[in-house]
Structures are given as structure tokens and as C-alpha cells.
């Protein structure tokens, strides 16, 4: 998920307290003439093109997490592509502007700096002229809540689909409980209308607060995400088909429609376990007996068992 960012030129005179915030991140104290500063809108509570939005508490948490984070180009992982760093964040509310969800428009703002050098002159010119204007941020969230039922869409089990209407309300995912902020990046084409986030997920088991963070962050392109989603949907459909087929055999009093309705509220793991249980029940009701199994009744002498 991407949300575009807009930059603003630095103030005529950089306040002394802001220069002090910048120098928290430097090895030596820089002067006003040595830094170029600009303002960013990192993300907001509007529903984006991926039909997701941050809730307001998440924006406040991200304000803490993004303080001090580096700015790069096109989400490059190379250290030489670092171009700036955030030194101040805050959450800003506009009560005169409401979102489609009926909330006051709320966004996460930040100030970033970059050193004024021969290497950065072109980047500074591009920012001042509005050429480099949009960015996206990379972060992780603990849950994506369904706006209709409140279920965690990341955990599965929610039967609502993002973008569809339910009782006049558009279903979307609410990004909540941020767990980490990785970086923000200048990009050419952000996916979201007024702010941007790159969806990420982590690989590996959960860590406790005292354990080292060795998680690997993976950024998915839209096409890769759509491919994974399609594969997951096909897998789920196959599980539902197995459950309904075996359910009719194991529980003939249960209709196929009723079984399909039950499946809607189950996760993939639950569907798999349900399918295995129904398979065992169906086998008990209709045990498989091969045609060439041989005669088991000693009183019968004919060879009907071997007639195919």
C-alpha cells in the first residue's frame, strides 16, 4: 500500500530548537547553512486505492516510530542511496475536512534534513522545484481490521471483501497497532491519493522485547501481491469444496448450502482440520472395499467376489 507525500521548502530561518533536533543525529554539530530542511506528509486516515487506511491511534504510534528514520530513493537497500533523515514528527488534524469514514482528516507530518553538499545540490533543486514530491513509507502493522465486522483480515476468517458495499458502507481494511517503521523513500508513482505506505510483512517467528530483531522485511509489488492473493483464494476454494463434498457424505442431513455458510467463518487452517475430520467420518459410513478383496465367509464357496 502506498501513500503519496508532499514536500515543502524549508523555512527562511531554521529555528535554533530544530537545529538542536537535527544535531541529535550527527557526529558533529552542523550549522544552519550546512543543512536543507523540508516538510513531509507521511500518511493519513483516508481510504487509499488498496481500500485500506490508518486509524488515528496508529498515526500517533507511527509518529514515535518514524522519528529519526532515514530517507532513501525507490526503497533501495543500499546505504549510498540514503538522502535524508527525519528529525521531527507530529500528528495534524483538520476538523474542516472530513474523510469518507466521517472522521476529521488526520495526517502524520514530519520534518527531514539533508546535508548541503555538491552531491545533494541536484536533489535539493528537485525538491524545491516540486519534481521530487511524492514518497512512500515502509512499516509493519499488527492488524488489518475489517471496517464492517472488526475481524483481523491478516488472520483470516473475515467473509467481507474490501471495496464491496455492505448496508451502504464500503468495506475496507483499517491498519492498526503499528509494530515498526523501517524507512521512507522518494518514489515516482505512489499508489495512494494523498499519502503513501509500502505494505510489508515479516518472516520468522515473533520476538520478545528483549530478543534481537532479526526479521526480514519484504516489499511486494502490486502484481506479486495480486498473484499471491489469487493463489490463496484458489487454495481456499479447494478446501471449501472438500468440506462440502465430504460433509454431504458424513452428514447427509446437512445441506450443501448450510456447509458453505459454515465455511465462510472458518480460517484456512480450520477448514483443513474440518476436512480431515469429515474424511474420517465419511470413511466410517462408507468404508472402501476393493473388488478383488477375496472371500471372507468360509461358508460361501462361489467366486462372485472375483467377478468384475
CA dihedral 260, 261, 263, 264 (to 10 degrees): 120
Please check the confidence at residue 101 and state whether its pLDDT lies above 70.
Answer: yes
Question: Among the ranges 49-58, 230-239, 259-268, which has the highest mean pLDDT value?
Answer: 49-58
Please check the confidence at residue 184 and state whether its pLDDT lies above 70.
Answer: yes
Q: What are phi and psi of 299, to 5 degrees?
A: -80, -10
Q: How many angstroms separate the CA atoms of 258 and 242, rounded?
A: 14
* Pairing outcome for strands 70-73 and 173-186: parallel
Q: For residue 40, what pLDDT band results from cuts at 50, 70 and 90?
A: confident
Contact 185, 138 (CB under 8 A): yes
Bridge partners, 178 (sequence order): 141
Please check the confidence at residue 218 and state whether its pLDDT lies above 70.
Answer: no
First to last CA, the chain: 61
Please check the confidence at residue 216 and state whether its pLDDT lies above 50.
Answer: no
Please check the confidence at residue 8 and state whether its pLDDT lies above 70.
Answer: no
Look at residue 280 in the predicted model and tell me its pLDDT.
81
Please state, for a pLDDT cut of 90, what percent of the chain lies above it.
31
Look at residue 229 in the predicted model and tell me its pLDDT.
66
- pTM comes to 0.59
Domain spans of the chain? 16-142+174-201, 225-285
Q: How many angstroms separate the CA atoms of 195 and 105, rounded?
A: 12
Look at residue 231 in the predicted model and tell me its pLDDT.
66
Q: How many angstroms separate the CA atoms of 48 and 193, rounded?
A: 6
- The mean pLDDT value for 180-198 works out to 63
C-alpha cell at 138: 515502509
Helix 268-285 with 222-250: angle, nearest 10 deg: 30
Write the CA distances from 277 to 122, 159, 247, 273, 280, integer angstroms: 65, 23, 10, 6, 5
Question: Among the ranges 20-24, 195-199, 239-243, which has the highest mean pLDDT value?
Answer: 20-24
Contact 84, 124 (CB under 8 A): no
Look at residue 17 in the predicted model and tell me its pLDDT.
92
Bridge partners, 197 (sequence order): 137
C-alpha cell at 236: 481456499
3-state secondary structure of 17: helix
Amino acid at each position: 500500500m502506498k501513500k503519496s507525500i508532499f514536500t515543502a521548502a524549508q523555512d527562511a530561518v531554521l529555528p535554533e530548537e530544530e537545529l538542536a533536533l537535527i544535531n541529535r543525529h550527527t557526529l558533529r554539530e552542523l550549522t544552519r547553512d550546512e543543512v536543507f530542511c523540508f516538510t513531509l506528509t507521511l500518511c493519513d486516515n483516508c481510504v487509499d486505492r488498496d481500500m485500506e487506511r490508518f486509524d488515528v491511534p496508529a498515526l500517533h504510534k507511527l509518529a514515535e516510530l518514524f522519528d529519526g528514520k532515514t530517507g532513501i530513493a525507490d526503497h533501495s537497500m543500499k546505504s549510498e542511496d540514503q538522502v535524508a533523515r527525519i528529525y521531527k514528527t507530529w500528528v495534524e488534524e483538520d476538523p474542516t475536512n472530513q474523510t469518507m469514514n466521517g472522521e476529521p482528516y488526520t495526517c502524520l507530518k514530519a520534518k527531514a534534513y539533508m546535508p548541503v553538499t555538491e552531491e545533494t545540490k541536484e536533489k535539493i533543486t528537485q525538491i524545491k522545484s516540486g519534481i521530487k514530491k511524492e514518497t512512500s513509507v515502509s512499516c509493519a502493522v499488527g492488524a488489518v481490521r475489517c471496517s464492517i465486522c472488526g475481524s483481523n483480515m491478516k488472520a483470516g476468517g473475515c467473509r467481507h471483501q474490501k471495496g464491496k458495499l455492505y448496508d451502504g458502507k464500503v468495506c475496507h481494511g483499517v491498519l492498526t497497532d503499528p509494530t515498526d517503521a523501517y524507512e521512507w523513500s522518494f518514489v515516482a508513482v505512489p499508489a495512494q491519493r494523498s499519502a503513501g505506505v509500502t505494505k510489508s510483512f515479516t518472516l520468522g517467528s515473533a520476538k520478545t522485547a528483549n530478543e534481537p530483531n532479526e526479521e526480514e522485511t519484504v516489499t511486494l509489488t502490486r502484481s506479486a501481491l495480486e498473484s499471491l492473493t489469487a493463489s490463496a483464494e484458489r487454495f481456499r476454494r479447494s478446501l471449501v469444496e472438500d468440506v462440502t463434498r465430504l460433509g454431504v457424505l458424513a452428514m447427509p442431513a446437512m445441506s450443501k448450502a448450510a456447509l458453505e455458510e459454515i465455511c465462510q467463518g472458518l480460517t484456512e487452517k480450520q477448514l483443513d482440520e474440518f476436512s480431515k475430520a469429515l474424511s474420517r467420518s465419511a470413511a466410517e459410513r462408507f468404508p472402501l472395499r476393493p473388488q478383488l478383496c477375496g472371500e471372507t465367509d468360509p461358508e460361501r464357496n462361489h467366486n462372485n467376489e472375483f467377478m468384475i
